[in-house]
Amino acid sequence: MNRLPVETRVQILLMLCEGSSMRSISRITGASINTVTKLLVDAGEACAAFHDATVRNVPSKAVQCDEIWSFSYAKNKNVKFAKADAGDVWTWTAIDADSKLIVSWHVGDRGAHTGTAFLHDLKARLANRVQLTTDGHKAYLKAVLDAGFDADYAMLNKIFATDYAGLGRYSPPKCIGAIKNPIMGNPDPNLVNTSFAERQNLTMRMSMRRFTRLTNAFSKKFENHCHALALYFFFYDFCRVHKTLGATPAMASGLVDHVMKMEDAVTLIDKRSAPALRGPYKKREPRKFQTETRPNLL
């Protein structure tokens, strides 16, 4: 089986996590775009499986949840001219306020059904009762109840100015205040905020080219969008040293005891793609040919 050298695969994966587009990676490394895409798919599957198995029993005190918008193939307004799996895509994330660990993430729409699946997964990964903070998105209210999420839960409802900048405005309106609304349990008002989750959204937009706004660097396939997220969260949780922590988020949470490298992701890929062992071949008996005798007509 022909494979790129480990150094080249590591370079490609690191560039995918540092904001480079797939076409630019193909030009710089000399690998074909199909090779880069195949490596992204393999890395996404391996990293998603590793995150699912490793990020368990997380000791957390406060968790912040938020969702970030992107789209696959086409925006909602152009879906009628596109294929079936096109449209807006929302990535739901849950970050531990102390270790900055991405405890859980989920990709789908912005409805309560997706939020319920997201909170079910988050609940299964926590080791203890936590304080949960979300923004004022109404889907969280139903999702928390449907998931049976036992937490000290509060919503942070932000108040935005009503100034209208006209058509073509791309910056959000100015935030002029916030209201802390306790929903469930006894949440600590000092821990009710979503600053870390929102800063994480900015990191995602800067680290993945497909999240950049107002460009043609969007996801062309929903599956590849999910693979890119799985690779990024592996890099963010296990490989990237957080400046204020002096360690990776996974180390700060006690999930691992060392800084992982992108070579570890390549190792995970190779383990998943190991060729299956084949049984012994049956010895083939030599074929016997019979000589056909034809009458001599001369």
Interval 246-269 mean pLDDT: 96
More confident residue, 57 or 215: 57
What percent of the chain clears pLDDT 70, i.e. is strictly above it? 86
Q: Give the pLDDT score at 190.
A: 93
The torsion region of residue 73 among left (phi > 0), alpha (psi -120 to 50) and beta comes to left
Q: Give the pLDDT score at 277.
A: 56
- HEC string of 143-203 equals HHHHCCCCCEEEEEEEEECCCCCCCCCCCCCCEEEEEEEEEECCCCHHHCCCHHHHHHHHH
- Residue from 131, 92, 85 nearest 115 by CA: 92
On the question of pLDDT at 185 being above 90, the answer is yes
On the question of pLDDT at 143 being above 70, the answer is yes
Q: Give the pLDDT score at 252.
A: 96
Q: Give the pLDDT score at 209.
A: 93
On the question of pLDDT at 197 being above 80, the answer is yes
Pairing of strands 131-135, 102-108: unpaired
Least confident of 29-43, 74-88, 187-201: 74-88
Interval 42-53 mean pLDDT: 97
Q: Give the pLDDT score at 177.
A: 80
On the question of pLDDT at 213 being above 70, the answer is yes
Q: How confident is the model at residue 77 (pLDDT cuts 50, 70, 90)?
A: confident
Interval 34-41 mean pLDDT: 96
Q: Give the pLDDT score at 79.
A: 80
Distance CA(262)–CA(43), nearest Å, equals: 10
Interval 158-178 mean pLDDT: 72
Q: Give the pLDDT score at 168.
A: 60
Average pLDDT, the chain: 89
Whole-angstrom CA distances from 181 to 22, 111, 112, 176, 236 are 43, 21, 19, 17, 31
Whole-prediction pTM value? 0.87
- Residue from 155, 183, 197 nearest 63 by CA: 197
More confident residue, 294 or 242: 242
Q: Give the pLDDT score at 296.
A: 56
Q: Give the pLDDT score at 288.
A: 60
- Residue from 295, 278, 294, 239 nearest 18 by CA: 239
- Residue from 81, 93, 94, 6 nearest 43 by CA: 6
Distance CA(124)–CA(120), nearest Å, equals: 6
Interval 204-217 mean pLDDT: 91
On the question of pLDDT at 162 being above 70, the answer is yes
Interval 107-118 mean pLDDT: 95
